[in-house]
C-alpha cells in the first residue's frame, strides 16, 4: 500500500525549512506519495489562538539557538535572516501557481533557500520573478497569477482545511490521516512508514 504524506508548510517557518530538507528522502525510501501543501501560518495562528515565537522573547532567543543545532545536525546551511518575520503571502500563493505548472517541488526548494540560506526578502515581486525564471517559468504570468482571486481563495481554503484537520503550527504533516507536528516529529513519520510499508 502506498502511503500519502501531506506536508503543510509556510516559507516564513524555519522548522518547515528544516523538515523540507528531509521529508522527500523519507518518502522516497518507503515509497510514500508526498504532497506539498502550502498554507498561511499567520492564518493558522489566528484561527487557533496560537502565538508566534516572535511574541515571546525567551522563546525566540531559544529558537535561534535550536535552529542552529538542527542545521548542524542535518548538515545543512541555515542563516537566520535579518528580515524576520517575512510576509510570505505572495510566495505561498506562488507555490500554488507553481503547483499548477508542475513545479511546486522545485519552487519550494528554491524559495526556502532564498529566505533561510540567502536572506532575500521573498515578499518582493522581483525576488520571486528571478526565482521562477530560473525554474523556467514565465515570470510575468507568474506575478499576474499570484494576485488572481482563485489563487487567493485556494490558499485561504487550504489554510482553513488544515485548521479543521487539527493543524496549529508549521510544519504539519498528515500521514494518511495521522497528524504529526514539527520538524522533530519526522522520526515518528519515518518509523510509521518503516513499520507499515
pLDDT tens for residues 149-194?
A: 999 999 999 999 999 999 999 999 999 999 999 999 999 999 999 9
**What residue ranges do the domains of the chain occupy?**
4-196
Percent helix / strand / coil, the chain, rounded to 5: 60, 10, 30
Backbone angles phi, psi at 99, to 5 degrees: -60, -40
Tell me the mean pLDDT in the region 98-107.
97
The CATH number given to 4-196 is 3.40.30.10
Q: What is the pLDDT of residues 117-160, one digit of tens each?
A: 999 999 999 999 999 999 999 999 999 999 999 999 999 999 99
Query: 73 falls in which pLDDT band (50, 70, 90)?
Result: very high
Query: Model-level pTM greater than 0.85?
Result: yes
Report, as an integer, the average pLDDT of 56-65.
Answer: 90
Amino acid at each position: 500500500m502506498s502511503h500519502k504524506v501531506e506536508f503543510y508548510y509556510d516559507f516564513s517557518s524555519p522548522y518547515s525549512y528544516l523538515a523540507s530538507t528531509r521529508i522527500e528522502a523519507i518518502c522516497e525510501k518507503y515509497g510514500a506519495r508526498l504532497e506539498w501543501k502550502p498554507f498561511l501560518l499567520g492564518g493558522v495562528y489566528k484561527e487557533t489562538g496560537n502565538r508566534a515565537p516572535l511574541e515571546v522573547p525567551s522563546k525566540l532567543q531559544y529558537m535561534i539557538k535550536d535552529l542552529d543545532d538542527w542545521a548542524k545536525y542535518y548538515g545543512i546551511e541555515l542563516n537566520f535572516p535579518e528580515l524576520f518575520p517575512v510576509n510570505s503571502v505572495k510566495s505561498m500563493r506562488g507555490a500554488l501557481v507553481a503547483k499548477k505548472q508542475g513545479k511546486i517541488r522545485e519552487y519550494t526548494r528554491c524559495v526556502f533557500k532564498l529566505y533561510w540560506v540567502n536572506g532575500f526578502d521573498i515578499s518582493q515581486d522581483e525576488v520571486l520573478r528571478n526565482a521562477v525564471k530560473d525554474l523556467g517559468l514565465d515570470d510575468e504570468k507568474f506575478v499576474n497569477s499570484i494576485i488572481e482571486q482563485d489563487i487567493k481563495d485556494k490558499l485561504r481554503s487550504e489554510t482553513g482545511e488544515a485548521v479543521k484537520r487539527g493543524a496549529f503550527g508549521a510544519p504539519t504533516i498528515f500521514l494518511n490521516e495521522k497528524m504529526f507536528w514539527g520538524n522533530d516529529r519526522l522520526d515518528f513519520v519515518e518509523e510509521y512508514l518503516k513499520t507499515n510499508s
